[in-house]
Structure 1
Amino acid sequence: MELIRMLIVEDDPMVMEINAEFISRIGGFQLVGKAFSGTEAFRLIQETDPDLVLLDYFLPDMDGLAILKEIRLQELTVDVIPVTANRSAEHIQQILRYGASDYILKPFRFERLQTALEQYKITYKKLRMNDQLEQVDMDLITGMRSQKADTTNRMLPKGLNPHTLQQIIDYLQEQKKAMSAEEVASGTGLARVTVRRYLEYLQKRGDVQLVVKYGSIGRPVNRYRL
């Protein structure tokens, strides 16, 4: 998959570098620009064409809400994740009404940004790799399925590894069609018997759909899709 292009808008140089370092630790993203003001942000949006902007709220020349409003007014095709210490429910509601992809409160840890970007990555993939979406796709985009997965991962059956489980889920998310255990094993480098066990587990908990393909000769093939 192509890298997701990111722009950071932050007036504090130290915080800027911390955020840039955080992004470098998360696979699938490319930092294409750093803006220290709202004016510079709009210039870099035009020049670098980012997919996603990590937007500090308090800037020298304008606030984050004004920037987000202007982005929508100009119909710029860019998503925004605001980062702010403002905890006002009314303010957060305004930000969300203008289409913010997430809302991160300062101070935040690396894990919170990672969660936001991994969720954005799911949305990005689903909207660009599919002409039409199913309800299971929408559940992934809205985070409903990932929330269920987080809960279930804490209670995995003995012998199942959460990292291996996530590897298989990530691979299935990248595919546009139902995949057999053999195909998933080939794509992930895992043993076929291992993949089959994880796929059967995902099916039982309702995270994958089973599609049985019948051929003219031989046994039917089980295929799985998110």
Structure 2
Amino acid sequence: MKTIRVLLVEDDPMVREVNRQFIERVEGFEVIDMAANGIKGIEKIKELSPDLVIMDIFMPEQGGIESLRQIRYNNLEVDCFMVTAANDVQTIQQILHLGVYDYIMKPFTFERIEQTLLNYRLFKEKMESAEDVTQQELDEIMGQTKHMNLEPEPVQTFSQELPKGFNRSTLAKVLQYLKQLDDGASADDVAAGIGVARVTARRYLDFMEKNQMIHVDILYGSVGRPVNQYFFEE
């Protein structure tokens, strides 16, 4: 099977880089280019003809939903995954109506996107190796797209009562995000990864570190202030 060429469309540079690393950890996938919004994404689809586009919904200038509409309207032959923090039913229905292969909600683990990519590669192999298919064969091929998990993986969270202003859903998202990163993450990384303000991410990280749910290392660079890097506590 030839290498599957991926275009990554995401406005946040930190999230883009994490997603790129995840994708290229899976054998047979290569990120050929990246775009920061849907307008640039459409231009690069026309220019580069990728096999697969992995795209966020909320982006400046042009978001993922309008970009998907343009992809379909212009009959651009490319498959699409959506990777986004959006979890409302109306948005999910809009995306599914526009024909995506999968819808992955932030934050997600490497294992979640790895399984989607492996399923997609198998789907491509079957479709490209067959001229005609039986109903049974078609059912097996289409079955590769029915694995969607629209809820974040369950994560063990703090069992005691949380302080005022905290909620368990956000706590779980922070834990899940850190759990997937061997090299840890800064407060800025966490904020971008789960879609909250930096001050919110820092409050949760400080709380979790005090309760020994995560640990923190201080990284000293050649210039600028030291940065707190947070790690999931096994």
- TM-score, normalised on structure 1? 0.61
| Equivalent residue runs for 1:12-51 within 5 Å | 12-51=12-51
One-letter amino acid of the structure 1 residue matched with residue 58 of structure 2: F
**Alpha-carbon distance in 1 for matches of 2:12, 2:111:** 21
3-state SS of the aligned residue for 1:39?
Answer: helix
Structure 2 match to 1:78: 78
Structure 2 match to 1:57: 57
Structure 2 match to 1:191: none
Contact 1:9 1:55 in 2 (8 A): yes
**Alpha-carbon distance in 1 for matches of 2:6, 2:65:** 19
CA deviation after TM superposition for structure 1 residue 144, in Å: 6.2
**Alpha-carbon distance in 2 for matches of 1:133, 1:40:** 37
**Alpha-carbon distance in 2 for matches of 1:53, 1:44:** 10
Gaps of 5+ in 2: 148-234
Contact 1:139 1:145 in 2 (8 A): no
Q: Give aligned-pair identity as a percent.
A: 41
Structure 1 match to 2:115: 115
CA deviation after TM superposition for structure 1 residue 89, in Å: 1.5
RMSD of aligned residue pairs (Cα, Å): 1.8
Gaps of 5+ in 1: 148-226
Structure 2 match to 1:6: 6
| Equivalent residue runs for 1:62-211 within 5 Å | 62-143=62-143
Contact 2:119 2:145 in 1 (8 A): no
- TM-score, normalised on structure 2? 0.59
3-state SS of the aligned residue for 2:102?
Answer: coil
CA deviation after TM superposition for structure 1 residue 134, in Å: 2.7
**Alpha-carbon distance in 1 for matches of 2:56, 2:89:** 18
One-letter amino acid of the structure 2 residue matched with residue 64 of structure 1: G
Change (3 A) 1:130 1:84: same
Contact 1:140 1:146 in 2 (8 A): no
Q: How many residues align?
A: 147
3-state SS of the aligned residue for 2:21?
Answer: helix
Contact 1:26 1:114 in 2 (8 A): yes
Q: With a CA cutoff of 8 Å and minimum separation of 6, indicate the structure with the bigger relative contact order.
A: 2
